[in-house]
Chains A and B, each alone.
Chain A
């Protein structure tokens, strides 16, 4: 708990710049509430979860810093994460505002970008670039396209990650989010089409049903006899063996032997 002021300071300095702290404890909610939230008045993100087996917790406290794509950039003692480190890391994030004055021809594209309407921004920028004869305008259009490209890469990364995890529901959700962000552009249309196709597939429907069944079962499971809990979980696992929820059900079932 001695590290609390350090984390609070990092949160205050960098949360608005895209840095999030997720302080995880598996202790009960009442203890977290009274000893950290109430007693220390922290405003950074705090979570109750058990990540011991997922992250192989090695001594407490320990932290992992993940980039925009979820890749681990650093792990170690939280006191070794300095403000200078975080400053460097958030610099790599896709900017949400255009950070310099651009040619007035691009003003509608810049406005769209600042509102998060990247599809409109992209289409506008391309139109300006195609018509521009002035080298400065061309250079500014290239710059803006570069900023938009970072958002395209980020969306692509999210979609690919969900796809490689075999989670069709998450994949469709990422496609929908990406399509919404890039509405009014070619790539936005492509993603919207892919989402529509995906939702028609059997794999997607199985994924969705498995998730629903598992979430319906989850709150009841602790009150069930171990044998019936295991049976109920195994039923989901057998019905939907190739879905993330089905696999999770199979894992959970092992606990009720």
Chain B
């Protein structure tokens, strides 16, 4: 039980820190719900492979 609890805590820490994308790791693909200033054929991140891509998260607020 104690081991299980320890593991659960480790997993919880992992979920908040280690799963963030770090340098050297593979950037996960995602689909675009809607996009502006891209060709119609570009509907997900992987369609930009072969280029250097800067994924920027932003908000109007």
Contact = CB atoms under 8 A, between A and B. Distances in A.
Interface of A: 1, 3, 7, 10, 14, 18-25, 27, 29, 31-33, 35-37, 42-52, 54-58, 60-75, 78, 81, 86, 89-90, 92-94, 154, 158, 161, 170
A75 B21 contact: yes
Interface string B40-61: 0010011011111111111110
Given A49-B31, A51-B30, A61-B58, A20 B23 contact: no
Chain B interface mostly helix, strand, loop or mixed? loop
A186 to B, nearest CB: 22
A90 B33 CA distance: 27
A44 B37 contact: yes
A25 B36 contact: no
Contacts of A60: 57-59
17 contacts: A1-B58, A7-B56, A20-B52, A23-B58, A25-B60, A35-B60, A49-B30, A60-B58, A61-B58, A62-B57, A68-B50, A70-B27, A70-B45, A72-B25, A72-B26, A75-B22, A93-B50
Contacts, number: 166
Contacts of A32: 34, 36, 60
A69 B33 CA distance: 23
B38 to A, nearest CB: 5
A19 B56 CA distance: 13
Q: Size range of the interface on B?
A: 35 or more
A24 B44 CA distance: 12
B4 interface: no
- Give me the 3 closest cross-chain CB pairs, A-B, nearest first: A56-B20, A63-B56, A46-B36
Contact of B21 (A25, A56, A78): A56
A159 B26 CA distance: 15
Given A20-B48, A60-B59, A48 B53 contact: no
Task: Tell which of A27, A49, A73 has the most Cβ of chain B within 10 Å.
Answer: A49
A47 B35 contact: yes
A15 B23 CA distance: 22
Contacts of B52: 14, 18-20, 65-68, 73, 86, 89-90, 92-93
